[in-house]
Amino acid sequence: MRAQTVGYIATAFGLVAGLAWNDAIKAFIENIFPLGQGTMWAKFIYAVIITIFVVVITRYLLRLANRK
């Protein structure tokens, strides 16, 4: 029970860090691509890249967990 609670707390901290990074990256994109200059495409490409990254890391972690 204690390990599960620690896992939930760590997940919550990870979510907070992820949201902070999301805001930072959005501000970076808006700085490079001012509104009206392809911002939508930049955000779409960012979302696709992040999704691919998360899927690859998740699959790696699942394989690592299944080996034990």
Query: What DSSP state is assigned to residue 68?
Result: -
Q: Report d(CA 60, CA 14) in Å as an integer.
A: 18
Percent of the chain's residues with pLDDT above 70? 91
Condensed to tens digits (0 to 9), the pLDDT of residues 50-66 reads 889 889 988 988 888 78
Range of the domain at 24: 2-67
Q: How many domains does the chain have?
A: 1
Question: Is 32 in contact with 42 (CB distance < 8 Å)?
Answer: yes
pLDDT score at 38:
66
Q: Which of 55, 65, 3, 67 is nearest to 11 (CA)?
A: 3
Say what the pTM is. 0.58
